[in-house]
Amino acid sequence: MAYSLSQSYFGANLISDFNFINYADPSNGFVRYQSQPDALAKSLYFIDPDTQAVTLGVDNKNTFVLSDGRPSLRLESKRQYNHGLFIGDFAHMPPSVCGLWPAFWMYGPDWPTSGEIDIIEGANQATKNIISGHSTSGCRIPDSPAAAGQPLLLDCESPGTTNNAGCNYLPPASDTHTYGDAFNAVGGGVYALEWTSEAISIWHWPRQSIPDDIVAKNPDPSSWGLPSALFGTSTCDVDTYFKDMSIVIQTNFCGDYAANIWGKDGDTCNQRAPTCVEYVANNPTAFANAYWEVNYIDVYEQGLATNTTASPSEPTTTTTIKSTSTIYTTVPNPATIVTSITHNGTVIVSTATVQSQVSSVVLSTVVGPTATAPPSPSTDPLVPEREPATIGEYAYLGCFGSGTGFQSFLLKASAADMTLGKCIDLCRPGKYAGVRESECFCADDLDPDTRATTDRALCNSPCPGNNTQLCGGTTTTSPSKKRDAAPRAHAPPPPPPRRALNLPPDSLRPPHRRSTPQRPAPRRLGTPRTLHLDARDDGDLHHRLRDRRGAPDARGALYHDPGAGVRQILR
């Protein structure tokens, strides 16, 4: 039976049809969730007057005492669902930054009896998404599920033997744009969840690989191939373990996920501050790009009359830039070994990072260790025709710009025969390698003003040693389309520039909390960490939105090695 659109959440109706939760976080986050009036007064959300995309941000201007919490948003749909097809289109999500724990998920009112499915979740520097299920005893992932993703823990019981970790999947090895910086580097994408009595299936596509039937509002899951994650079938009766679930989108800080993996199992966030709370409390500008940009969340049901309601399309933008560079980075293999960290009785699942090839990313975007490979290099504009998707253990991240001259990068060498491979060799075993024309730059980290550009054609300079490759770009200026030509009355200022640097970090996510504080909150899995990206401080949300098409001083191609701790960029 075909699906018909029953509800489309976008623009003002996303705000009106979701509750703004403002009670204490059940997951012990360093956060103060805001009511709708308070969120509006603090400019934490914004509706684009042209596209109706909704931006959900966090406070990025103030410091707080350690007993307080950073203002943020947690929205829950007023309607509860049983079965359906849920499709979320996100142009941007919170980046792979220390202290963050964002999530897009569903859960029922009596947790864990009514179940929980985490569609997008991660924490700190993660760049790979982890999809999880939580239930009471008796629900498991099949031993050989018909899914493209890689199962981690099989028992969905929460708390259970894994103490709220639930059952989980890593993305398919070919899907490298699933979370954080890697997701943002390709302009975001779409997640879809189909919920039937037989199974709950979840798919992901990067921006340029979204199926035509989804774009046409006539989705047909039977044509999408294997899902990334599958819950149910013979090992879990879906109607018994999952019911009356609401849709949730939130950005948390620290808590049982990000704080508990701080400095553990490869996480390097402790190099920034001894604890997660200290870092989040004292570094507001680190969260300038910690926002969701929601194009729409569509809900389809079977047996309804055809609904022709349409949602706005994603806006297009250009950026003014002076130079660009190409960046490569190494990425962790999704097929990593599951480990667990015990802290205060809580077990958080994370993955060991290993080096692996990743699929290609767009010339002007940053692809992280978890970026999703476009289907066809010959037809998909996200696939760089002249840049190798991977060079050894390094993965192509995309075209980057910097408002501070790539201050975290050091010039390693200048050569008349410079190529992408040559620069990577010079930067090994570093984390990042960046090239601009004849210059090779290496770095251990990305500064807040270094970020991916949305214009994939800005890196247009042939490499001196191989003119089939592109090594950054020269001065180019394009007209910029401001999203907020005139701020509307009562509309909160637009959020941070979506171009904030998107590298392949692997942020881990802690467990999500239930709608009522007294209920035990489910724990989120940790995702592999990689590169972390901080956005520049553009002032308040309104200023940042206006400057969203702003111009970084330089751009270049970037490759990144998630296994190392260094990153390189050229300018």
SS (H, E, C) 489-543: CCCCCCCCCCCCCCCCCEECCCCCCCCCCCCCCCCCCCCCECCCCCCCCCCCHHH
* Highest mean pLDDT (candidates 79-88, 262-271, 343-352, 474-483): 79-88
**% of the chain residues with pLDDT over 70:** 64
Burial class (CB in 10 A: 0-12, 13-18, 19+), 431: buried
Give dist(CA 292, CA 55) in Å, integer. Answer: 5
Give dist(CA 416, CA 557) in Å, integer. Answer: 17
Question: pLDDT value at position 77?
Answer: 98
Question: pLDDT value at position 164?
Answer: 85
- Asked if residue 358 has pLDDT above 90, the reply is no
Least Cα distance to 93 among 239, 283, 292 occurs for: 292
| Both structure tokens of 342 | 């015990």
Domain count across the chain: 1
More confident residue, 463 or 451: 463
| Both structure tokens of 514 | 């239930």
Per-residue pLDDT tens over the stretch 178-198:
999 999 988 999 999 999 999
Q: Is residue 100 in a domain?
A: yes
Per-residue pLDDT tens over the stretch 212-226:
999 999 999 999 999
Q: Is residue 218 in a domain?
A: yes
Q: Of 275-284, 327-336, 467-476, which gets the smallest average pLDDT?
A: 327-336
Mean pLDDT for 166-189 is 93
- Asked if residue 144 has pLDDT above 50, the reply is yes
**Cβ 532 vs Cβ 566: under 8 Å:** no
Residue indicated by tokens 């994370």? 350
Per-residue pLDDT tens over the stretch 203-213:
999 998 999 99
Burial class (CB in 10 A: 0-12, 13-18, 19+), 305: exposed
Q: How confident is the model at residue 277 (pLDDT cuts 50, 70, 90)?
A: very high
| Both structure tokens of 362 | 């767009």
Question: pLDDT value at position 180?
Answer: 94
| Both structure tokens of 443 | 């770095």
**Cβ 468 vs Cβ 450: under 8 Å:** no
Given 76, 116, 157, 314, which residue is catalytic? 116
Q: Is residue 405 in a domain?
A: no
Mean pLDDT for 283-310 is 85
Q: How confident is the model at residue 492 (pLDDT cuts 50, 70, 90)?
A: very low
Give dist(CA 257, CA 61) in Å, integer. Answer: 24
Q: Is residue 91 in a domain?
A: yes
**Cβ 506 vs Cβ 529: under 8 Å:** yes
Mean pLDDT for 448-454 is 60
Q: Which domain holds residue 79?
A: 3-302
Question: pLDDT value at position 190?
Answer: 98
Least Cα distance to 560 among 409, 378, 338, 341 occurs for: 409
Q: Is residue 336 in a domain?
A: no
| Angle, vertex CA 55, rays to CA 360 and CA 101, nearest 5 | 65
For the chain, what's the residue count? 571
Give dist(CA 145, CA 151) in Å, integer. Answer: 8
Question: pLDDT value at position 480?
Answer: 34
Q: Is residue 416 in a domain?
A: no
Question: pLDDT value at position 341?
Answer: 25
More confident residue, 354 or 68: 68
Q: Of 105-114, 126-135, 397-406, 527-536, which gets the smallest average pLDDT?
A: 527-536
Tell me whether residue 439 is one of the annotated catalytic residues. no
Q: How confident is the model at residue 554 (pLDDT cuts 50, 70, 90)?
A: very low
Given 121, 157, 314, 439, which residue is catalytic? 121
Q: Is residue 422 in a domain?
A: no
Question: pLDDT value at position 544?
Answer: 27
**% of the chain residues with pLDDT over 90:** 54
Question: pLDDT value at position 446?
Answer: 65
**Cβ 548 vs Cβ 498: under 8 Å:** yes
The CATH number covering residue 216 comes to: 2.60.120.200
Which alpha helices (DSSP H) does 83-135 contain, by range? none
Q: Is residue 400 in a domain?
A: no
Tell me whether residue 116 is one of the annotated catalytic residues. yes
Residue type, 263: G
